Amino acid sequence: MSLNNLLTSFVFFCAITGGLFKELPSYIHVCQRDPNTIQDCVLKSIESLKPQLIAGIPEIDVPSIDPFFIPEIKALTTDSIPIRASGQNVKVTGAGDFKIKSLSVDVDTLLIKVRVRFPKLHFEGDYKLDTQILVVPLKGEGKLSADALKCDAEITVHSQISQRDGVEYLTFKKIDADINVKDYRVKLDGLFNGDKTLGEAANAAINQNRGEFLKATKPILEKTVAKIFLDIANKVVDGFTLEQLLPKP
């Protein structure tokens, strides 16, 4: 065998055996595709990854989840309240305290369903508002702060197996999020050109109708959060083979 053929065979052998693949970092917990163990293993894997998610993983361009930033949230008009409102550059803290309430993994489709509780989330950012509660017009822009309590998220992760050079890789093609908030309080500075008395009355009215405001922001919030976490999930598994992440038993 010529030297060129020998080198080609060696490179091919390394590729097949994983010699050219990325080495798994210690914070990624390997789980076998065994229906008897995979759910408990994936749960432990998420818990193992939690400190890195809170701190961020700069080597793979994964930002921190506590805090994390939402570039923009828009509210949609509901049946009860006509709303033109948006929040920009919203900083969210408290996500690192999440608790997993339940988790299931389909070994055949690699569909992951997880229920997560965030005990308390704090939001800070900028807002613009143009709405009406009863017959009172509310309009303004400025700083917003809000606290959301007992936020439950039902998250469905749709996985996809792709092939490159005959090797299988795991990617996530879609995340669906259904977010429900037990209660929240919001404070908007800058209403009525900063008039303190009118501003306090307006904030009280907004909080009394917070169910409608939550209903108005829920669809966009769910899509935004799903997009953020889909990006993070794909960055975490990028470059690793399916057999590395989820080997067959």
Place of tokens 């693949």: 21
The pLDDT value given to residue 172: 94
pLDDT at 140: 81
Among 63, 196, 213, 228, smallest CA distance to 127 is for: 213
Segment (H or E) for 167: strand 167-188
Evaluate whether the domain defined by 25-245 bears CATH number 3.15.10.30: yes
Residue with tokens 């309590």: 149
Write out the chain's pLDDT in tens, 249 residues: 444 444 444 444 444 444 445 788 888 888 899 999 999 999 988 888 899 989 998 888 888 999 989 888 877 665 666 677 788 999 999 999 999 999 999 999 999 999 999 999 999 999 888 777 656 677 788 999 999 999 999 999 999 998 888 899 999 999 999 999 998 898 989 887 777 888 888 888 888 877 777 887 888 888 888 998 899 899 988 888 999 989 988
The radius of gyration of the chain's CA atoms, rounded to the nearest angstrom, is 23
Structural domain boundaries in the chain: 25-245
pLDDT value of position 19: 42
Output the DSSP codes for 17-46. HTTTSPPPPTTSPP--S-TTTHHHHHHHHH
